[in-house]
Structure 1
Amino acid sequence: MKKHYFYITLLLFCLFSLSTVAQESRPAPSGGKEPIEGLNIYPNPVSGGRIYVTSKSGQNKEVEIFDVLGKRILQATLSSKELNISELTPGVYIIKVKEGDATATRKLIVK
């Protein structure tokens, strides 16, 4: 059973990675949301319990972190660039950042 869970998780991760690459490589449809200019999430992989989320604009950011099965694990609004993720167990997560009308999704690895 544990082996099957690993393969299912790996398959979902690969599918999400491919869809994320496809989303980032095509232009936004007219009237659609623009990507966040200069978005940087670091360090990634993270081992210290904190990540930093920056962009060219200094606007507040709404951040959501999901596990690979799509369950929301963490939700926060950042007025600074630092986010405490020390409660997350090691693994692969999806981080969604919203800044104004712009939204971006990235993979986050916690060691």
Structure 2
Amino acid sequence: MKQFYLITFFCVVFSLSGFSQTTEKYMAAKQDTDLAENLTLYPNPASHGKVYISSKNNKVKKIEIFNVLGKLILSTTQLGNELNISKLKAGAYIVKISEESLTVTRKLIVR
């Protein structure tokens, strides 16, 4: 009977310590998901030299655009929604958007 209580005690202690770590990871992942859900990049595909990036918080955003080979093509910081992409050639790009400590990536097609 003592062995049963001892095993039960260790199981409870280890499960509680693991739960707190999981909760912290869950909260960080939830914040990333919140930004991803509340961030819009439009129009996509873009054809008029401008795209609009908006988020729920509407804070200062750092925007980096990479080509499909991973080369940085454009890097800027902006507060407004409008981003000028008229210098980009037609093709596929990866847009990395950072707002505060959260970062999301989107695929952008330019026609």
TM-score w.r.t. length of structure 1: 0.70
1:31, distance to aligned residue in structure 2 (A): 7.1
Q: Aligned with 1:45: secondary structure?
A: coil
What residue ranges of structure 2 are gaps of 5+ in the alignment? 1-23
Counterpart for residue 107 of structure 1: 107
Q: How does 1:17-28 map to 2 (within 5 A)?
A: none
1:93, distance to aligned residue in structure 2 (A): 0.2
1:29 aligns with 2:34: no
1:64, distance to aligned residue in structure 2 (A): 0.2
The share of aligned pairs that are identical, in percent, is 48
1:74 aligns with 2:70: no
Counterpart for residue 41 of structure 1: 41
Q: Aligned with 1:77: secondary structure?
A: strand
1:63, distance to aligned residue in structure 2 (A): 0.2
Counterpart for residue 10 of structure 1: none
Counterpart for residue 61 of structure 1: 61
1:29, distance to aligned residue in structure 2 (A): 3.4
Tell me the distance in 1 between the aligned counterparts of 2:89 and 2:70. 15
Tell me the distance in 2 between the aligned counterparts of 1:94 and 1:61. 16
Could you give the per-residue CA deviations for residues 51-94 of structure 1, whole angstroms, max 9, x where no partner exists? 00000002010000000000000001011000000000000000
1:30, distance to aligned residue in structure 2 (A): 4.9
Q: Aligned with 1:41: secondary structure?
A: strand
Counterpart for residue 13 of structure 1: none
Q: Which has the higher helix share?
A: 2
What residue ranges of structure 1 are gaps of 5+ in the alignment? 1-27
Q: CA RMSD in A?
A: 1.7
Tell me the distance in 1 between the aligned counterparts of 2:81 and 2:88. 18
Letter in 2 for 1:29: K
Counterpart for residue 92 of structure 1: 92
- In our comparison, the structure showing a higher alpha carbon Rg is 2
Q: Aligned with 1:48: secondary structure?
A: coil
Q: Aligned with 2:58: secondary structure?
A: coil
